[in-house]
Structure formats: C-alpha cells, structure tokens
Amino acid sequence: MGDLSGEILFEKFSIAECFKKDEHTAVYLADHIFLGKKIILKVLNTETIGDDQKIQRFKREAKIMAKLEHPNIIKVLDFGMFKNYFYISQEYFKGYNLRRFINFNNFSADDFRHIFSRFFSALQYAHENKVIHRDIKPENIFINDDLEVKIGDFGLALSINDNLVTGQFSIVGTPSYMSPEQISGEKLNEKSDLFSSGIVMLELLTGKNPFMGKDINESINNIVNFDGVPDTGDVKFPEFIPILEQLLKKSPKARITSAGDVVKELGGYEGDQASFSSGSIKRELKPKSENRIFLYLIPLLLLIIVIGYYINFTLNSSSKADEDSRMSKNNEEIVDTPPVNEPEPAIATDNNPEVSQEKNIAATQETPENNIDETTVLPGSLFIECFPWADVYIDSEKIDTTPLPDNIILPAGKYNLKLQHPEFPLYETEITILPGMNKTVKVNMDTLFGFAEFNIFPWGEVILNKKSFGHTPYSEPVKLIPGNYDLVIKNPSFKKKEEKITIKRNDTLKVNFNFKKNME
C-alpha cells in the first residue's frame, strides 16, 4: 500500500491520514463511509507477514474487542477480510495515554478516584466476559481533557472461553508491569490484571514504577524477588494505600477479589463522566519536574514577536542549508520546522506511534553573526516523539520523560541528546537548535536493536557473553543490543563452537554452523 490519502480502501473507508505503516501492517485515520464517522483502521497483510501466530493474534484481538461493549473500552466497529488484507475498524478516541498524565502532579484525589473507578469498571466488565488483558500499562490506558477514560490494545488479551491452554501459560506482556505469576509462566486469571493495575496506580501516585530496572532482566528480578510489601512512602494521596496494598499482594489468592471490589473501595461508579469539578486536564495540570521551569520562562508573546521578526528578516535575505536541518535513517527523524505552541495529542487508539516522514518545510537560516542584532536573543525549541517512551537527557541532564507535554525551549546551539529506556538500547545523537526554529526528533526504539539468526545442525545451545539463549531451532531471530559478543554454541555430542560476532543496529546477522560437517 502506498500513500492512500483520499483513497477509498476496502470499498468503505476513506483514508484521511496514515499514523503507522510498515511492510505488513498499517494504521490509518479514516472516514467510515457507511457509518458516517471517523474511525481508526488497522490493516494486516496476511500474505506478506508469513507468521501465522501474529495473524491469529490480530484476528483474536478483533474478536475479543468486538464483544466488549463498555463506555470505557475502545470499541471495535467491524472487522473482516478483503483479498489478502485483514482489517479492524475501531472507535476514534482523540486523547493521550496515561503516560503523559503521569508527567503531571497537581491532579486531585477526586481526579484519581474518577479515573480509576472508570478504569476498574471496564476491567471488571472484561473479566466478567472471561477476557484477561495481560498488558495493563500506562500506554494502554487513554484519557482526554474531560477525564474520559478508555482501555485499549487487547492485542495480547486472552479469552478463557477459547480454551487456549498454552496461551494461559504464555509469558507475554511488558516485564515491568507483569504480575509475579505472569513472570513465572504460571496459569493466569483475572488477578494478574489486578496486580498490573496496582503498579499503574502506584506509578501515578509516586511518579515511578517500583519494579523498573536498568534492563529487562533487572525488572523481572525485581518482581520475582518482590516480598509483597509495596514501597508507598512517597504516595501523593495516602488514603489510597490500603487499595494499593490489596492489589499488590504477591500471592494471587491474597489479592483483592475482583476489579469490581476496587470500584467499591474507590466509592463506586455512577457512569457520570463529568461528576468531578477538576475540569480540563489541559487547563488544570502543570509539569511536575521543577528542574524544567527555566526552560519555559520565556514569555510566549515575546517568542512570537521575535519569531515574526526573524522570519520577516530571513525572507529578505539569502539563505543556506544547515547541515543538521534534517536526518532520517531507520525510522528516526530529526526535522527543523517553524515553532508551534503545542504538539498534537497522541491518538489513543494507536499504541505504537508512527515514525512519520514529515516534510522539512524550513531548513535554512541566515548566518547569525552576520545578520542578527547582537542584542536580539532568538531561542529555539525541541519536541521529541519516542515510541514507546524514554527519559530525555540534554547534555547529560535529565529533562523529562516522553511523551512531552509541550516543546522544550532552548537557546540556539549544539546539544547532546540521549533517549534512555531500560528495556531498549540507548539512543544518542547531537542536535543543533536553530534560532526561532522548532526541531522535531522522532525515534522508534524498536529499530535500535540488532538481530541474529542461528541455523545450527542438528541443534545447539546458544550462549552469548556467558548468557544462555536456549536451544535451536528458534521460531524467529534473537533480538540483541548492538555490539560485540562472545558466541559459544554447545551440543554434548560434539566439540563446542566459539567465535566473536558483531551485532549491528537494525541488521540481521546469520550464523550457520554444522557440527557434523565440522568434524570432517
């Protein structure tokens, strides 16, 4: 599928915008011709993907979400096949995920109660319909400025009625939000979702996930070694500690009985989305990080005046391209554009933000020392879009965590930018902030990994830097952080194979080895 903007897809969807697209999948904003409303259209090419498990998971998500009709769950409108494409059309909910909400701290206890009474009401409804979400985390809970709440992304959900015995024991999800039984690969029930929900609640009240480690292994170890007593010392509203303690019991049997019981503990849910007086999040909340205040002290009015002066000046002068005005490689993008006051809100129904190919509409500047009055200070700004999320460091100082509530104002100059997520490789680059310009950096952290494909005959245990990755054959390539590795391949019937390998970012290294042939 190419650029389909304005085209009719599957004879009933008029494409308005592409949010995400790769070789096998795509997510669009579209107009449903027959329903007369905007929808989110998710498309899977069943012919090119070549992975029946992913196809079945995509179809299972559609079936599960189609039967869940609750005001606080993203609703599937229809799904089906058209030639080689399987599609899902679902409700368009314009808001942002709870990760952004966590970046604010002046919400009230009533706001908190309002959000989670609705969330747990939806979760109880899903559980009553024998559906376990299995991936409860801030990125899958969506909210808008009116405090409307929606649960989305049931891609890993398990329907108990499907009798997927192996599925109930599968280790899937996001490690730092998994329950202890989920980490251990035990049979899951509804209480696994309750534990994950407790982590989300605690993170909102403290600003941090207590199980988040430096990497996946540390996150897993933190949960496995959890003693059942959550650290609630810095909880914003202590009145919610008893609920947290009941949700975060290590043993499922000791946890609160159901999501419905949590709703009762929170004071019930009458379904009135406007029952609290806090008003709009956008209007009421302020950034929690005090060390960012200096970045936003420049008055907006002054910035507009200065930008107007600068644009007017450059229109009447010769320009030259700045060597750092745009970089685009492997799903990452750095673009200079005229500044905007605030980025568009995330689309709540798409959990995997698109790394788009935005046009560089302003990539030139006058030489500052020759054309700008020495008394004029022209700041620039930086906006970062990162999937799934990352801590932002500028010149080694932590600034914030994505998704950012607004642009970061910076003096013109060069900066070292780092995006750090404990479960992904470090992203690091040098950026140039241009006077009066907004720089947009878009990064998909998934593209920072490298891969190794092992074809071992007859089979072998693969050990990389003294860590075992199990026995071949593998169903898919091994995902690795780029770098050098000491590789050992073992089979008790043969002499072990040892060599050094290098994993390159977004590249797949093929390792072929035949133990029997090596003996000849």
Same-domain pairing of 428 and 491: no
Q: How confident is the model at residue 348 (pLDDT cuts 50, 70, 90)?
A: very low
Return the top range by mean pLDDT from 118-132, 146-160, 281-295, 462-476.
Answer: 118-132
Model confidence over 230-251: pLDDT tens digits? 887 788 899 999 999 999 999 9
CB within 8 A of 52, min separation 6: which ones? none
Q: Does residue 393 belong to any structural domain of this protein? A: yes
Q: What is the pLDDT of residue 324?
A: 40
Q: Does residue 58 belong to any structural domain of this protein? A: yes
Domain boundary among the residues 223, 254, 284 is at 284
Same-domain pairing of 177 and 141: yes
Q: Does residue 300 belong to any structural domain of this protein? A: yes
Whether 130 and 160 have beta carbons less than 8 Å apart is answered as yes
The pTM of this model reads: 0.55
Lowest-confidence pick of 166-175, 199-208, 253-262, 384-393: 166-175
Q: What is the pLDDT of residue 500?
A: 95
Domain boundary among the residues 55, 71, 91 is at 91
CB within 8 A of 498, min separation 6: which ones? 486, 487, 488, 489
Mean pLDDT of the chain: 77
Q: What is the pLDDT of residue 429?
A: 93
User: Residue 515's closest CA among 459, 463, 472?
Assistant: 459
End-to-end CA distance of the chain: 50
Same-domain pairing of 239 and 348: no
Please report how many Cα atoms fall inside a 13 Å half-sphere around the Cα of residue 232, on the Cβ side.
19
Please give the Cα distance from 284 to 384 (Å, whole number). Answer: 23
Q: Does residue 2 belong to any structural domain of this protein? A: no
Q: Does residue 104 belong to any structural domain of this protein? A: yes
Same-domain pairing of 345 and 368: yes
Q: What is the pLDDT of residue 241?
A: 93
DSSP string, 252-286: GGGS-S-HHHHHHHTT---S-TT-SS---HHHH--
Residue range 170-191: average pLDDT? Answer: 80
Whether 354 has a pLDDT exceeding 90, the answer reads no
CA angle 194, 197, 198 (to 5 degrees): 90
Q: What is the CATH number of the domain that holds 273?
A: 1.10.510.10
Whether 316 has a pLDDT exceeding 80, the answer reads no
Say if residue 202 is exposed, middle or buried (CB neighbours under 10 Å; 0-12, 13-18, 19+): buried
Query: What does DSSP assign to residue 434?
Result: P
Same-domain pairing of 128 and 238: yes
Same-domain pairing of 429 and 458: no
Q: Does residue 3 belong to any structural domain of this protein? A: no
Q: What is the CATH number of the domain that holds 498?
A: 2.60.40.1120
Q: What is the CATH number of the domain that holds 17?
A: 3.30.200.20
> Domain tally for the chain?
4
Same-domain pairing of 227 and 328: no
The H-or-E segment that residue 518 falls in is helix 515-519
Lowest-confidence pick of 106-120, 177-191, 230-244, 347-361: 347-361
Please give the Cα distance from 395 to 199 (Å, whole number). Answer: 31
* Alpha helices (H) along 150-285: 165-168, 180-183, 190-206, 216-224, 241-247, 259-265, 281-284
Same-domain pairing of 258 and 310: no
Same-domain pairing of 12 and 110: no
Q: Which residue has the tokens 């560089």?
A: 360
Q: Which domain holds residue 50?
A: 8-91
More confident residue, 285 or 453: 453
Whether 217 has a pLDDT exceeding 70, the answer reads yes
Please give the Cα distance from 509 to 289 (Å, whole number). Answer: 42
Lowest-confidence pick of 17-26, 123-132, 318-327, 473-482: 318-327
Same-domain pairing of 171 and 226: yes
Please give the Cα distance from 432 to 419 (Å, whole number). Answer: 16
Q: Does residue 1 belong to any structural domain of this protein? A: no
DSSP string, 351-375: SS-----------EE--HHHHS-TT
Same-domain pairing of 299 and 441: yes
Same-domain pairing of 85 and 106: no
Domain boundary among the residues 418, 446, 474 is at 446
Q: Does residue 346 belong to any structural domain of this protein? A: yes
